[in-house]
Structure 1
Amino acid sequence: MDTVFVPSGTSRANLKGYTLIMPVVSVGNVGQLTIDLIISTLGLPRVGYIHSDCLLPVVGNNPYTTTSENSAEMCISSEVYASADQKLAVLQIRSPIVQGKHRSFRQQLFSWFKESEFSRIVVLSSSHAHHRVDRQLVGTPLRYLATPSLQTIVGDKFQTLKWKELERVAAFPGISEVEQEIYIPGGGITKSLYNDSCTEGIPLAVLLIFCSEGDNIPDAFSLLNFLNEWIQLIEKTSDQHTVTRAQWKIPSSWRLLFGSGIPPALF
């Protein structure tokens, strides 16, 4: 399979040993909003993009513009940003997968994962809150999944953080409660990415939040702080338990997240 990563400049970015953080297109677009905050806060430069016929084409202005000079830059449906200092790569996906091409897109991603030799991959996702089972209704709406390959790397880190693993649910409720399966309604390709990573021996973690469609900015901050407990993107001050919202930089493109407002002329 031909490579799907195309570097921005003439030199090819060496991402070996990097941590990759990426979203899955899912309910509320929480993963993508979280990635926006990471790129904007850390000021990550773009190092390339994913060339794929599996994503709907999108083009627009630079969503992370900070000056009049870089406001004219363009963005497309999937781009890769990276920091050599932090050994961090971030993939942003801005459009849904073409119907019938979910499997092809996963294959392209895995080809890139293996070629790049990432040390670990973190998938940010979300799931419909109204599909939760009884035991998921209490406590935090945040959950994680980790492949066996990643578990050997992190050890008991998630237990130390007191994170809750995503509960398995009955595959055939009311008929057989013995067979349990992973259930992520509204999660797009999250489940298949995780299952394929288990099979392929990829060190991958899924971090997700139960939510509903609407203003999902608070969900993005919750998921980002959840991630930051494990992978210290920015440090919390000594007198804080968590990173405050003010420490994350909101991208300029969020000003129009819900449109430009109601025209006063209507009234």
Structure 2
Amino acid sequence: MFIPSEDSTPSFKGFTLIAPAVSVGNVGQLAADLIISTLNMPRVGHFHTDCLVPMAGNNPYSSSAADGADQLSTNAEVYSHSGLRLVVLQIRTPVLQTKVKSFRKLLVSWIKSSGFSRTVLLSSSHAFHRDDQQLHGAALRYLLSPALQDAGDTLRELGWTELERVSAFPGINDSEKRLYIPGGGVTKGLYTDCCTESVPLAVVLLFCSEGDNVPDAFTLTNHLNDWLHLVEKPVSAHLEKQQGSIPWRVPSSWRLLFGSGIPPLIY
């Protein structure tokens, strides 16, 4: 259940919700970090649930005590930007295998009760599972629930490709197709639930592999920004060449993504 940071519960009616799926390479979570950090989004609440692996730590977006670095962070927190009418739910730990359906039900219930105009699920899928048709073009794919089909024209104008269905029985019966998102965590199940519950949902995913997935996170957020216009692009070609397409601000906690370096004393 959602627990607000203040005494009163904020209204999210008509807002856009962005949430990551805990998937291969943690690309969705890294992308959510970039959005929260760049927009300097304040925390407005957290999720209290037994469906996620427990976790507690320092504020991942601050670097000093004066900046709130000593603020306790948990496994599922909600950040908001009222000017952009945007909410980001950051999920930092995996969903327990025995609680996957319960978590999906909880999330869909909160989305519906909050009155979000649309929900964008950031996800990823194993690159080595792509079939021949998925090897063409960019690694970005999208899915839209029936309640958000109106956004399809805009996404196609951006050059995005809808996630292809693959053969359920390759080489035996290629006419029967299925939705296949290996490594996508709750992505497929949540998409199916939102289709059934008439929830406006867009899944934006990237084919990737495990490793240093920071570049994948930048790729995903840049594509998302082309659609939602969260951050302005550099006005000059010179700045764009220096800073890249978008000047995303990396959270201070990313310094610990790969731990400390190799101690020289071992040599």
Query: Shorter-chain TM-score category?
Result: over 0.9
- Which deviates more from structure 2 when the two are superposed, residues 191-200 or residues 64-73? 64-73
What is the one-letter code of the residue matched to 2:218? F
Shift of 1:245: 6.2
Conserved in 2, the CA contact under 8 Å of 1:5 and 1:48? yes
Looking at structure 1, the residues matched to 219 and 125 of structure 2 have their Cα atoms a distance apart, in angstroms, of 14
2:162 equivalent to 1:168? no
Equivalence for 2:16: 19
- Which deviates more from structure 2 when the two are superposed, residues 135-144 or residues 236-245? 236-245
Unaligned runs of 5+ in 2: none
Shift of 1:244: 2.1
Alignment map for 1:1-267 (pairs within 5 Å): 4-69=1-66, 70-152=68-150, 154=151, 156-239=153-236, 244=244, 247-267=247-267
Shift of 1:250: 0.2
- Which deviates more from structure 2 when the two are superposed, residues 128-137 or residues 242-251? 242-251
SS across alignment from 1:195: helix
Conserved in 1, the CA contact under 8 Å of 2:234 and 2:246? no
What is the one-letter code of the residue matched to 1:21? I
Conserved in 1, the CA contact under 8 Å of 2:148 and 2:200? yes
SS across alignment from 1:57: coil
Conserved in 2, the CA contact under 8 Å of 1:24 and 1:125? yes
Conserved in 2, the CA contact under 8 Å of 1:37 and 1:251? yes
What is the one-letter code of the residue matched to 1:58? M
Shift of 1:239: 4.2
- Which deviates more from structure 2 when the two are superposed, residues 243-252 or residues 107-116? 243-252
Shift of 1:100: 1.2
When the two structures are superposed, what TM-score results if normalisation uses the length of structure 2? 0.95
Shift of 1:237: 2.8
Shift of 1:129: 0.4
Q: CA RMSD in A?
A: 1.5
CA offsets, 1:80-139, max 9 Å, x none?
A: 000111100000000001121100000000110111010000000000000000111122
Conserved in 2, the CA contact under 8 Å of 1:221 and 1:245? no
Looking at structure 2, the residues matched to 138 and 239 of structure 1 have their Cα atoms a distance apart, in angstroms, of 32
Shift of 1:11: 1.4
What is the one-letter code of the residue matched to 2:155? F
SS across alignment from 1:218: helix
Shift of 1:158: 1.1
SS across alignment from 1:254: helix
Conserved in 1, the CA contact under 8 Å of 2:222 and 2:246? no
What is the one-letter code of the residue matched to 1:212? S
Shift of 1:162: 1.4
Shift of 1:214: 0.3
SS across alignment from 2:97: coil
Looking at structure 2, the residues matched to 155 and 239 of structure 1 have their Cα atoms a distance apart, in angstroms, of 30
Looking at structure 1, the residues matched to 164 and 211 of structure 2 have their Cα atoms a distance apart, in angstroms, of 25
Looking at structure 1, the residues matched to 246 and 184 of structure 2 have their Cα atoms a distance apart, in angstroms, of 28
Looking at structure 2, the residues matched to 36 and 155 of structure 1 have their Cα atoms a distance apart, in angstroms, of 26
Identity %: 57
